[in-house]
Chain A
């Protein structure tokens, strides 16, 4: 039985293990970085089992590299994790992170080409089939359009998701950063994304280095991102939303304060208003 997901979740990070297990504050669901738990024994596995007794848990990967061929062992370990958690879906990014066994440990943009649409869609379909659950793909922050691109990001995302029949994990911070980095209005971008496919939302903090807006997940969510989130909720309704904080992680209470704020926006923002 796959339970529906709702409300606001937070990322379960190693720094938060013990405080998450102790907290009595409201957490609607948890998201994990899949690779930190795949094939992993010890404390990560124990904490995951304890958390799974209390909350739904969604595996969110950073290394599936859907733009390239799928790796058998990766798919097998991810499939085992997703099944163990009985997750309603799992997610990763519309990008690549690996070339021929060389892991870059980063989310790298594909060229926005017809060929990359086909490759990414095929990779996403294969990954979802091997794991056996629906896949959501996240829009990444990209700092440069790759040489050879033939279309814009929104068309690329739309076509890949259509071809793969995958859901969209809409990262509102990435939407904002791409607007700043490429000089486009994020509301215009938002209007051209396949919002009917949005199944989950990410919110995170960022930093600015010179004229580049970096997706660092190291700070509180910025005010313009909150405003954009409210607009997204107005357009797509109360989609399950996650607070991501991966570097310079503060206390659990500080993360949960952000979750409360997101929940408040979701509660008071009517769809279509």
Chain B
């Protein structure tokens, strides 16, 4: 039996082996036989691949559900193209999930709701791990994300994650606007459906003032009320707390 004289040689060959670029037979030819048999050795690239798939499947449960509903095998294909193009380079597994959003967005022939579901999953995680900071915008926390989706993304995601989504369903083509933010009050990630008044309040905090006055039906009082509600929810800092 050939005994590897240097661990460097072992690692140099294990890397392509674990990535599926070198067969177990070839590895054994170069390093010597495994006492457990070739088929057992061949399990390792499978387990490594399965682990990466598991990270993505847990992170993007709603994307996986929508892929399954859209086309048999689509989720597996999406994972395969992603894994072929991306190598984990950070010890925190969730970091490996980050480039998946851009990967889905590049696949132009896919339904748009897949991009929206992937984005929603990533911003919820980003909100969860963001430090509270005002990000240069008066009272607006750096964990705050505002999105306008063309589909009913939050409800679909909740259903996919709590197991209540009927099999084979896709997100409804109902536009929705959502804020995702880690509440200063509860510490948890809160998802809200802002009213028009709340959006105007958020816009004003961000320095925007409509040139043509208030949208129809809104008053300064209604906007002030929404501003206060967002403060109470922990989305915004109170005015006297902001810079």
Q: A residues touching B (Cβ–Cβ < 8 Å)?
A: 18, 35-36, 38, 40-44, 46-47, 62-63, 67-68, 74, 96-106, 108, 110-111, 113, 115-116, 119, 143-150, 181-182, 212, 247
B18: contacting residue among A43, A100, A108, A212, CB under 8 A = A108
The answer to whether A104 and B89 touch across the interface, beta carbons within 8 angstroms, is no
List residues of B whose CB falls within 8 A of some A CB: 1-7, 10-11, 14-15, 18, 27-28, 31-37, 40-41, 43-44, 47-48, 51-52, 54-55, 58, 87-94, 96, 127-131, 143, 182, 187-189
| Known contacts A104-B18, A147-B28, A148-B10: A44-B88 contact under CB 8 Å | no
Query: Contacts of B2 on A, CB cut-off 8 Å?
Result: 147-148
Closest B residue to A17 using CB positions: B188
Are B51 and A147 in contact, with the CB atoms below 8 A? no
Known contacts A43-B188, A104-B88, A247-B58; can you find 11 more A-B pairs with CB under 8 A? A43-B189, A102-B89, A106-B47, A106-B48, A111-B7, A144-B43, A147-B28, A147-B32, A148-B1, A148-B31, A150-B3
List chain A residues, Cβ under 8 A from B15: 99-100, 102
* Known A-B contacts A40-B129, A44-B128; A105 and B10 likewise in contact (beta carbons under 8 Å): no
From B32, B90, B128, B187, give the contact of A148 (CB < 8 A): B32
B36, B51, B54, B130 — most chain A CB neighbours (10 Å): B36
Could you jot down 27 A-B contacts, CB within 8 Å?
A35-B91, A35-B92, A36-B94, A38-B92, A41-B130, A41-B131, A42-B182, A43-B128, A101-B89, A102-B87, A102-B89, A103-B90, A105-B48, A105-B93, A108-B14, A108-B18, A111-B10, A143-B44, A144-B37, A144-B40, A146-B31, A147-B10, A147-B32, A147-B34, A147-B41, A148-B3, A148-B32
Please determine whether A113 and B188 come into contact, CB atoms closer than 8 angstroms.
no
Residues in B neighbouring A36, C-beta threshold 8 A: 92, 94
- CB-based contact B91/A147 at 8 Å: no
**B93 contacts across to A, CB distance below 8 A:** 35, 105
- For A102, the chain B residues whose CB sits under 8 A away are 15, 87-89
Q: How far is the CA of A48 from the CA of B91 in the complex (A)?
A: 19
- The answer to whether B11 touches A68 (Cβ under 8 A) is yes
| Residues of the A chain whose Cβ atoms lie less than 8 Å from the Cβ of B94 | 36
Indicate which residue in A63, A103, A143 contacts B43 across the interface (CB closer than 8 Å): A143
Q: Name the CB-closest residue of A to B29.
A: A147
**Bound: A44/B128 CA distance, A:** 8
Cβ–Cβ contact A144 & B36, under 8 A: yes
* A146 CB contact (under 8 Å) in B34, B58, B90: B34
- Give the top 9 A-B pairs by smallest Cβ distance, nearest first: A63-B91, A41-B131, A147-B31, A144-B36, A144-B40, A42-B129, A145-B35, A103-B88, A147-B32
Chain A residues near B52: list those with CB within 8 A: 105
Q: Is the CB–CB distance between A103 and B89 below 8 Å?
A: yes
Q: Is B10's CB under 8 angstroms from A42's CB? A: no
Residues of chain A with a CB closer than 8 A to B1's CB: 147-148
Q: What's the least CB distance linking B52 to chain A, in Å?
A: 6
Selected from A42, A108, A116, the residue in CB contact (under 8 A) with B7 is A116
Complex-state Cα separation, A38 to B93, whole angstroms: 12
Measured CA separation A106–B50 after assembly (Å):
10
CB contacts (< 8 Å) of A43 on chain B: these are: 128-129, 182, 187-189
Q: Is the CB of A145 within 8 A of B92?
A: no
Query: How far does the Cβ of B111 sit from chain A's closest Cβ, in whole Å?
Result: 28
* Cβ contact within 8 Å between A42 and B130: yes
Whole-angstrom distance from the CB of B124 to the nearest CB of chain A? 11
A244 to chain B, nearest CB (A): 16
B7 and A212 contacting across the interface, CB-CB below 8 Å:
no
- Determine the residue in chain B with the shortest Cβ distance to A71: B91
List, in ascending order, chain A residues with CB within 8 A of B44's CB.
108, 143-144
Q: For B6, what are the chain A residues with a Cβ–Cβ distance below 8 Å? A: 115
Residue of B nearest to A34 (CB): B91
Closest to A215 in B: B47
